[in-house]
């Protein structure tokens, strides 16, 4: 399917419609955020070029940088749906058993494990989402909170894109609805002039909405959710005193919040009572973390993995560094100064990915310890200048000693002199 844009923006504001409308009208995934015009209302001489819209049942483009969970795991979701014989909660596409299998894996159905953490947390979260409370996932940055919320919404609703990103600039309009003011002035308040938010659409369709980093929003904006989560309805006074949107079966909200971060606000007690809190903790098992980083690296680098030689000792070195700096203790039991920078498993995967690209495109295709050292700079120097001193202490007290006995640690230590 294709629609068209216009030359020189020669159109009235009332002739625009939004990507949200496309999703509702055509069940389409839109690859741009700009408003676009309705083609049928224009003379052909104004047409400039085509804008492609991928329908949900069309093949996925290999050029797309990031697939949504429902696109990436489409075949797994279909297998789970075909084999699902358990009772499904109202408004859900899968049973709770199938959703759990989608997240934690099912070998018989060839469904891979996607969340590596507390399995019991997934069960508790499912129970929460079946009830009236919202689900609040909290934890340190990089503990897969957003990924987990995306997996839940993809499995339960088949749509993980109804997302609000919390920022200091988030307004009430982003949470509830806004207006096409040209249509509002010409025709008055109506369904046509109303621009629904992702939360509005989730309530209307009975789906899961996601609110990322909710604590970055000012408290007065956060509290807009209090009445919405309590009453499960949204009043729209502009369209009449009695006009309101009632949430349909299947609606719920998954929010995420970082425990240790800058620029965050405390949630009110009233809002906290509308959510059940689950803490997503970092991985503590070093051997398990090594396996996870290797698996995630293979998935992220894709077809290039065949051109890369990954030495297990280098991945072990990377995970060991992150594990020691995160916990503040070396493998030998020595106390260390922990940096303010986030030393999460997700950051370790990012460094492994960047180092691998460096090895492929700027070296001989072999992932080496010096590649890890060079990419580590961007992580450690990200937050606090004092972190450089803490890393230098770690290098001189722990890494230097290991460098005398191991060639990989020596290569890392030599390359890390760039930190000075």
pLDDT along the chain (420 residues), means of 10: 38 39 43 37 35 48 80 96 96 97 96 93 97 95 93 97 95 96 92 95 97 95 95 92 91 92 87 96 89 91 91 95 92 88 89 95 95 86 78 91 94 82
In a domain, 79, yes or no: yes
pLDDT at 22: 43
Write down the H helix ranges in 96-180: 96-104, 119-130, 145-157, 172-175
pLDDT at 302: 85
Distances from the Cα of 292 to the Cαs of 32, 131, 225, in angstroms? Answer: 33, 32, 36
- Quickly tell me which residue has 């659409």 as its tokens: 201
Whether 273 and 291 share a structural domain = no
Whether 269 and 360 share a structural domain = no
**Angstrom distance (rounded) from CA 35 to CA 19:** 7
Whether 299 and 343 share a structural domain = yes
- In contact, 188 and 182? CB cutoff 8 Å: no
- Tokens found for residue 167: 């920022």
pLDDT at 31: 38
pLDDT at 2: 39
**Angstrom distance (rounded) from CA 118 to CA 253:** 21
Whether 220 and 329 share a structural domain = no
pLDDT at 262: 74
Whether 271 and 401 share a structural domain = no
This prediction's pTM: 0.82
CA 386 to chain centre: 30
Whether 74 and 205 share a structural domain = yes
Whether 261 and 304 share a structural domain = no
- Quickly tell me which residue has 């995420």 as its tokens: 256
Whether 79 and 201 share a structural domain = yes
103: domain CATH number? 3.40.50.300
In a domain, 91, yes or no: yes
In a domain, 94, yes or no: yes
Whether 162 and 86 share a structural domain = yes
Write down the H helix ranges in 131-197: 145-157, 172-175, 181-187
Whether 132 and 275 share a structural domain = yes
pLDDT at 13: 36
**Angstrom distance (rounded) from CA 221 to CA 67:** 30
In a domain, 62, yes or no: no
- In 3D space, the residue among 170, 268, 266, 167 whose CA is nearest the CA of residue 227 turns out to be 268
Structural domain span for residue 6: 2-55
- Tokens found for residue 171: 């307004």
- Tokens found for residue 399: 């890494």
In a domain, 218, yes or no: yes
Residue after which a domain boundary falls, among 260, 279, 298:
279
- In 3D space, the residue among 268, 270, 230 whose CA is nearest the CA of residue 247 turns out to be 230
Residue after which a domain boundary falls, among 245, 279, 313:
279
In a domain, 316, yes or no: yes
- In 3D space, the residue among 339, 343, 373, 379 whose CA is nearest the CA of residue 358 turns out to be 373
Residue after which a domain boundary falls, among 226, 245, 279:
279
**Angstrom distance (rounded) from CA 21 to CA 9:** 20
- Tell me how many domains the chain contains: 3
Whether 96 and 208 share a structural domain = yes
Whether 116 and 265 share a structural domain = yes
In a domain, 140, yes or no: yes
In a domain, 64, yes or no: no
pLDDT at 131: 94
For CA atoms 27, 30, 35, 36, give the dihedral sign: negative
pLDDT at 279: 96
pLDDT at 25: 42
CA 239 to chain centre: 34
- In contact, 352 and 369? CB cutoff 8 Å: no
Write down the H helix ranges in 162-311: 172-175, 181-187, 198-205, 219-222, 224-231, 269-272, 286-301
Distances from the Cα of 51 to the Cαs of 2, 3, 30, 43, 62, in angstroms? Answer: 6, 6, 10, 17, 17
Conformational region of residue 390, where left means phi above 0, alpha means psi within -120 to 50, and beta covers everything else = alpha
**Angstrom distance (rounded) from CA 119 to CA 164:** 27
The backbone torsions φ and ψ at residue 399, rounded to the nearest 5 degrees and listed phi first, read -65, -40
- In 3D space, the residue among 264, 277, 156 whose CA is nearest the CA of residue 217 turns out to be 264
């Amino acid at each position: 399917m294709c629609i068209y844009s216009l030359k020189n923006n020669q159109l009235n504001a009332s002739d625009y419609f939004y990507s949200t409308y496309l999703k509702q009208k055509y069940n389409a995934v839109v690859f741009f955020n700009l408003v676009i015009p309705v083609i049928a209302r224009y003379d052909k001489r104004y047409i400039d070029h085509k804008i492609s819209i991928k329908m949900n049942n069309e093949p996925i483009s290999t050029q797309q940088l990031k697939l949504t969970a429902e696109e990436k795991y489409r075949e797994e979701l279909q297998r789970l749906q075909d084999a699902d014989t358990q009772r499904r909660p109202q408004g859900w596409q899968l049973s709770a058993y199938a959703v759990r299998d989608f997240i934690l894996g099912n070998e018989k159905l060839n469904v891979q494990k996607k969340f590596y953490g507390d399995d019991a947390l997934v069960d508790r979260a499912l129970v929460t989402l079946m009830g009236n409370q919202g689900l609040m996932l909290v934890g340190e940055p990089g503990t897969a909170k957003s990924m987990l919320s995306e997996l839940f919404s993809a499995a339960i609703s088949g749509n993980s894109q109804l997302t609000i990103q919390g920022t200091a600039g988030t307004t009430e309009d982003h949470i509830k609805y806004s207006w096409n003011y040209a249509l509002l002035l010409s025709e008055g308040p109506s369904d046509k002039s109303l621009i629904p938010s992702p939360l509005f659409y989730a309530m209307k369709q009975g789906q899961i909405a996601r609110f990322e980093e909710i604590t970055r929003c000012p408290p007065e904006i956060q509290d807009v959710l209090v009445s919405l989560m309590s009453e499960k309805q949204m009043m729209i006074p502009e369209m009449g005193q009695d006009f309101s949107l009632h949430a349909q079966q299947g609606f719920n909200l998954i929010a995420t919040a970082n425990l240790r971060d800058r620029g965050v606000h405390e949630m009110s007690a009233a809002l906290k009572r509308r959510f059940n809190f689950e803490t997503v903790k970092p991985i503590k098992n070093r051997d398990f973390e090594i396996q996870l980083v290797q698996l995630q690296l293979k998935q992220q680098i894709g077809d290039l993995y065949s051109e890369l030689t990954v030495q297990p000792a280098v991945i072990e070195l990377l995970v060991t560094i992150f594990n020691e700096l995160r916990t503040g203790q070396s493998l030998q039991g020595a106390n260390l100064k922990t940096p303010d920078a986030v030393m999460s498993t997700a950051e370790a995967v990012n460094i492994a990915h960047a180092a691998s690209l460096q090895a492929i495109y700027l070296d001989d295709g072999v992932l080496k310890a010096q590649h890890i050292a060079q990419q580590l700079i961007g992580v450690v120097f990200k937050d606090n200048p004092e972190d450089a001193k803490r890393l230098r202490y770690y290098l001189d007290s722990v890494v230097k000693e290991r460098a005398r006995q191991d060639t990989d640690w020596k290569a890392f230590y030599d390359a890390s002199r760039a930190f000075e």
